[in-house]
Amino acid sequence: MWTDLKAHYARTSDRNILDLFADDTRFEGFSAALGDFLLDYSKTNIDADTRSALIALAENASVAARRDAMFAGEKINETEGRAVLHTALRNLSGRTVEVDGQDVMPEVLDTLSRMEAFATAVRDGSYQGQGGKITDVINIGIGGSDLGPAMAYRALSPYGVDGPRCHFVSNVDGADIHDVLVKCDPTTTLVIVASKTFTTIETMTNAETAQKWMAEKVTDTGAQFAALSSAVSKTADWGIAAERVFGFEDWVGGRYSMWGPIGLSVMISIGADNFRAFLQGGEAMDNHFLTADFAENLPVLLALVGIWHNQISGHGTRAVLPYDNRLGRLPAYFQQLEMESNGKSVSMDGKDLTVPAGPVVWGEPGTNGQHAFYQLIHQGTQVVPVEFMVAAKGHEDDLTHHHKLLVANCFAQSEALLRGRSLDECRERMAAKGLTGDELERQARHRVFPGNRPSTTLIYPKLTPYVLGQIIAMYEHRVFVEGTILGINSYDQWGVELGKELALALDPILSGDQDGAGKDGSTLGLVKYVQNA
């Protein structure tokens, strides 16, 4: 099947995407919607035959059966022997979901209610710090225990104006926590320690520092701490009362966890009702993913476009360019979601992959990137498939002219990538400026845009909690579909372990308590540099 698709690519790669628009139903035929949430993939080199071949690839990989197994609580995370049920966290219908014969929903919904009661109490001041109403919340976590809530807090800031300020500390670099603590009053600050395992060294180190900082002014620090973890027993040492410990099960992967307790800071910021709307958006995408035909199924289509661009066409990176400033942390969130999930070299059965596992994902909000790295996207030698996203309306009703410009820029960029500008057009423009001869030719060549560069555009009415839920759930399922087609287990992350082990081993070497026997010359040289500093 891969060979067929590659042969199909070889046959069609020279064709101009713009020519596909000779069919004036191209946009309708190559876009898909869930209500008014729309994915346009017509500006790619995918035609009806390509799409059929890609769908056949998904069918051949039993995507539907594996999807149903995932939602049903089967242990599809085989290398860790775990179910994969982040979808249960947004299953507001309460539909039974069983793991090992037990319905997990009563516990999920009970934890959600406890979170809601606590978030409401923080917001209305019925839960207080030693110095009164909570003014600041510090979420201490890293990776999946940081990126999701940090991204969503910023994305949904229009809904958080009446909530406390939230800060996100992740890096073990003391600069991170220092810069947050100096802005907060310990007597009115709530510290949330967010760690699935409650062992992550960065998080535990930052939490200890926060506790010491708070202890200088607050008698009972435990009373101003909350813990979010699937290792609830480990939270006991922190003196945090059970009512502020929010647990979740090991069938929620770290990078898929923002829907449950790890989302507490977001819930405190935007309120329980808005957080429910976020869950509803995710749940709506789940239902769509479960029921829509593959040719209309947003996560499946996004995955197939991804496979077409990376594994078939050989484009090594993919840019995520939200024309939505509040989605500034979304590319970083997607980096973990996609690259920690699918950045593997072996398939589920331990065999080497025969195709690349996926692209490097990167990006920044537009229009900022236009004045930075878009040069390479337009004129560089490598093709970078782009995913644009934009809201039809902004939140700033008094600044609609800004939003119109934003949208115009977003559409202009995808048009420029598609259309390009030929050498002949550039010659004409240079001639119009009065240039002639060699100088005209030289200047014209620098101004050529090859065009024919693919992009997709996701467009939605407004960046509401519901829409954010749709976006995140769509990308989660996209990663799952890509992983399934590649035969990967998207839910483990063994590739992060070696660095952790070596960092622990280097700690005593750096402090001079152990020699560096067995270390390479470079590492020893760097250690010596720090020791002599």
Which one among 197, 209, 317, 347 touches ligand F6P, defined by CB under 6 A? 197
Q: Please tell me whether residue 86 binds ligand F6P under the rule CB under 6 A.
A: no
The least distance separating ligand F6P from the CB of residue 48, rounded to whole angstroms, comes to 39
What is the Cα–Cα distance from 93 to 245, expressed in whole angstroms?
A: 25
Q: Is 265 in the site for ligand F6P (CB under 6 A)?
A: no
| The residue count for the chain | 533
Is 288 catalytic? The answer is no
Instruction: Please tell me the distance from the alpha carbon of residue 205 to that of residue 196, in angstroms, as a whole number.
Output: 15
Residue type at position 353: L
Task: Retrieve residue 245's tokens.
Answer: 């410990």
Q: According to the binding rule CB under 6 A, does residue 205 interact with ligand F6P?
A: no
**Contact at 8 Å (CB) between 302 and 361?**
no
Mark whether 167 is an active-site residue: no
Answer for which of 63, 142, 277, 304 binds ligand F6P (CB under 6 A) is 142
Q: Can you tell me the distance from the alpha carbon of 425 to that of 447, in angstroms, rounded to the nearest whole number?
A: 9
CB of 366 to ligand F6P, least distance (A): 28
The least distance separating ligand F6P from the CB of residue 150, rounded to whole angstroms, comes to 12
Q: Is 186 in the site for ligand F6P (CB under 6 A)?
A: no
Instruction: Identify the residue among 42, 44, 45, 200 touching ligand F6P (CB under 6 A).
Output: 200
Cite the beta strand spans of 286-343 per DSSP E. 317-323
Q: Residues near 392 by Cβ (< 8 Å), separated by ≥ 6?
A: 407, 459, 460, 461, 462
| Exposure b/e, 186-195, CB count within 10 A at least 16 = b | bbbbbbbbbb
Burial group, residue 156, by CB count within 10 angstroms (0-12, 13-18, 19+) = buried
Question: Could you tell me the smallest distance in angstroms from the CB atom of residue 489 to ligand F6P?
Answer: 13
Q: Which stretch binds ligand F6P (CB under 6 A): 100-108, 196-204, 214-222, 399-407?
A: 196-204
User: Which stretch in 71-79, 97-105, 191-199, 379-387 sits in contact with ligand F6P by CB under 6 A?
Assistant: 191-199
- DSSP string over 191-221: EEEE-SSS--HHHHHHHHHHHHHHHTT-S-G
Interface characters, 404-433, with ligand F6P (x: CB under 6 A): ------------------------------
Output the smallest distance, CB 245 to ligand F6P, in A. 15
- Rounded to an integer, what distance in angstroms lies between the CA atom of residue 88 and that of residue 218? 38
**476: nearest Cα among 303, 353, 240:** 303
- Residue 139 binds to ligand F6P (criterion: CB under 6 A): no
Q: How far is the CB of 336 from ligand F6P (least distance, A)?
A: 7
254 part of the interface to ligand F6P, by CB under 6 A: yes
Is residue 255 near ligand F6P by the rule CB under 6 A?
yes
- What is the distance, to the nearest Å, from the Cα of residue 146 to the centroid of all Cα atoms in its chain? 11
Q: Is 478 in the site for ligand F6P (CB under 6 A)?
A: no
Q: Which of 51, 82, 196, 344 binds ligand F6P (CB under 6 A)?
A: 196
How many Cβ atoms sit within 10 Å of the Cβ of residue 59? 13
344 in contact with ligand F6P (CB under 6 A): no
Does residue 51 belong to the site contacting ligand F6P (CB under 6 A)? no
335 binds ligand F6P (CB under 6 A): no
280: number of Cβ within 10 Å? 16
**Is 500 one of the catalytic residues?**
yes
Tokens of 300: 């499946």
End-to-end CA separation in angstroms for the chain: 58
Please identify, using beta-carbon distances, which residue of 47 and 340 lies nearer to ligand F6P: 340
The set of catalytic residues is 340, 371, 500
Contact residues: ligand F6P, CB under 6 A: 141-145, 195-197, 200, 203, 254-255, 340, 493, 496
